Structure 1
């Protein structure tokens, strides 16, 4: 009898791990299929500024109908150009004024549960204040059960420029 219970529990554990792994894989693959289209912030490196100028004019390509989960993923992915984390899952989403303004308009027209959080975040970013990017990243990361890739700090300007060159060209 003990062997049957142990086998049953082990089977459920394996199935649960496979389900979680499948979910994370699907999320990762879905995020990879979306194309980044712009970069953000002011940079001093002329090469990086050229990238930023090109990406800023490329348009946002945000979906017209955005649900709250997608809003969370967009904000989370936008923080990737500002925060340091061992691993970053999802698309490198540009932190442009155009993206920020469009997301803010979507938030204002929404009835999202966390509307105040998104509005405060986007208004800070609109004013060039990214000091909360680590908290924003980790809050959304936590909401989605994050276990790998917690942000630990803001990146330096040099790290941001390197990230933009690598991920948003």
Structure 2
């Protein structure tokens, strides 16, 4: 009788520990997929930020989780800046539109970003039609991305900008 009771306790403990282990493993996978894990080394914090689980298409034609990552904010600004600047090489392109500028400005309010003030300054200038600093804006992001080819050297003329946009087959980052 004592032997049956001991065996029942052992089996019950093993089952309980197995269930607990599976629960913790699944829970940690879910956290890493949604970005809610407590990763202390992450440069950008999403603490207290509500994220949408559904991925809706944004004004850039992409389905991504929001709030946007800092890397994606940089990619979008960098790609948009290409229509305004002369550079040896340009690998990404997104046309600057009021809808995209507004979208990025709203994303800046949803999260903490290391260079939020600078991004906001760039986008606000563009929103107001002020592009005379586009070379500096491009090169700021280019340096953050550790660029080694394609530093902006000058602003495009209005004619050059139209030709550049017309020559783009598709938008890409």
Shorter-chain TM-score tier: 0.5 to 0.7
Tell me, yes or no, if the aligned pair for 1:81 and 1:160 is still in contact at 8 Å. Answer: yes
Tell me, yes or no, if the aligned pair for 1:138 and 1:151 is still in contact at 8 Å. Answer: yes
Higher RCO (C-alpha 8 Å, min separation 6): 1
Q: Give the match for residue 22 of structure 2.
A: none
Mapping 1:60-139, distance limit 5 Å: 60-62=60-62, 63-65=64-66, 66-89=68-91, 91-139=92-140
TM-score (norm 2): 0.60
User: Gapped runs of 5+ residues in structure 1?
Assistant: 1-58
CA RMSD of aligned residues (A): 1.7
Larger Rg: 2
Mapping 1:5-44, distance limit 5 Å: none
Q: Does the residue aligned with 2:142 lie in a helix, a strand or coil?
A: helix
Q: Give the match for residue 147 of structure 1.
A: 148
Moved over 4 A (4+): none
Aligned residues: 111
Tell me, yes or no, if the aligned pair for 1:133 and 1:154 is still in contact at 8 Å. Answer: yes
TM-score (norm 1): 0.62
* TM-aligned CA deviation for residue 136 of structure 1: 1.1
Higher helix residue share: 1
Q: Does the residue aligned with 1:153 lie in a helix, a strand or coil?
A: strand
Taking the aligned partners of 1:160 and 1:146, their CA distance within structure 2 comes to 22
Tell me, yes or no, if the aligned pair for 2:80 and 2:93 is still in contact at 8 Å. Answer: yes
User: Gapped runs of 5+ residues in structure 2?
Assistant: 1-58
* TM-aligned CA deviation for residue 168 of structure 1: 5.5
